[in-house]
Amino acid sequence: MPQFPSRRGLLFGTAAVSAGTLLVGCTSNDTGDKAAADKQPAADDKPGKEVTIGFAGPQADHGWLNAINDNAKSRAERYEDVTLEITEGSNDTAQQIGQIETLINKKVDVLVVLPADGKALTQVGLKAMRAGIPVVNLDRIFNSPQAYRCWIGGDNYGMGLNAGHYIGEKLKDKSDARVIELAGLDNLELTKQRTQGFDDALKNYPNIKKVARQAAEFTVESGQAKMAQLLQAQSKFDALWNHDDDQGVGALRAIEQAGRDDFLMVGGAGALSAFQAIEKDDGVLKATVLYPPTMAASAIDLARALGQSKGIGGLAEFEIPSSLTLYSAVVDKDNVDQYMSTGFK
């Protein structure tokens, strides 16, 4: 997951952008179902100039990253004029650079890159751009805007902000409300941004105090262990914000083992398991804030548009924008049906 690029992006809803009518697909990540992307009309499905898109991402060792790959593949299959050259994902910086250099040497028309480390891969992004291959930088941003033609990704600050406002509205009439935070990896800029957004939102609610914060590692195991520590340290609180639905699976296990149900929980990202728990509405998880993996489907749309020298339908501009920031919608029991098909495993 991403490094948020300064707040300069255009804001779009969770469906994101597509290179024709701003429609983009989503996927359930369930191999037994057709991806939701395939159920929506594509933006400009009529075949045009053939485009070969090289796709390079990190290792899919997390539900969200696996959904990124599935969205990219599913979207590319929609188009008769698109050939997708996808690399084997890697979290090794040198290996990912080598994979991208191979795609450059193959002279693909456009590159879509979700770097394992945006800073470390900036030079290979620059190399592609200098070779005349436009780069769609997906989510984790390169250090230089010269290394990509278009950036598309999520809003980490907005995730925290919207989670904080949701909790704030639920607790605004409660005096001396107490909240805790189960964050992600603290060495990631995205984690700091999510926490900053959350803290800024809570400033609007003087009756609410954040009494504890614990960093986990975006895994089920870490979520369970760190949540158990929080529960032991905090005998009473009113709300929990958990940065990531994968680690939230572990957090919910710890909560169940502790027999606690005296607070509300808000998750993050948009996992299918979170949506199902919200729909069932018989536990502490009441909402999750989206970080939509559908951005990968949108990145394929944008890459196709770049390869065919098109703009985006619905905008007056002849060229696609240089930056697109997705919106972190809050999903609760009132709208979970709308988003269920986008949930990832």
Q: Where do the structural domains in the chain lie, given as residue ranges?
A: 10-154+293-322, 156-290
Answer yes or no: are the C-beta atoms of 225 and 250 closer than 8 Å.
yes
pLDDT at 3: 40
pLDDT at 14: 37
Other beta carbons within 10 angstroms of residue 204's beta carbon come to 12
- State the DSSP string of 94-113: HHHHHHHHHHHHTT-SEEEE
Chain-centre distance for alpha carbon 5: 14
Distance, CA of 194 to CA of 301 (rounded, Å): 28
Q: What are the structure tokens assigned to 289, written together?
A: 């804030």
pLDDT at 260: 97
pTM: 0.83
pLDDT at 41: 44
Other beta carbons within 10 angstroms of residue 175's beta carbon come to 7
- We find that the CATH architecture of domain 10-154+293-322 is 3-Layer(aba) Sandwich (3.40)
Secondary-structure class of domain 156-290 per CATH: alpha beta
Burial class (CB in 10 A: 0-12, 13-18, 19+), 215: middle
Mean pLDDT by 10 residues, the chain (345 residues): 36 37 35 42 73 94 89 96 94 95 98 94 98 97 97 97 98 98 93 97 98 96 98 97 96 98 97 97 97 95 96 87 96 97 91
Q: Is it true that 10-154+293-322 and 156-290 share their CATH fold?
A: yes
pLDDT at 43: 54
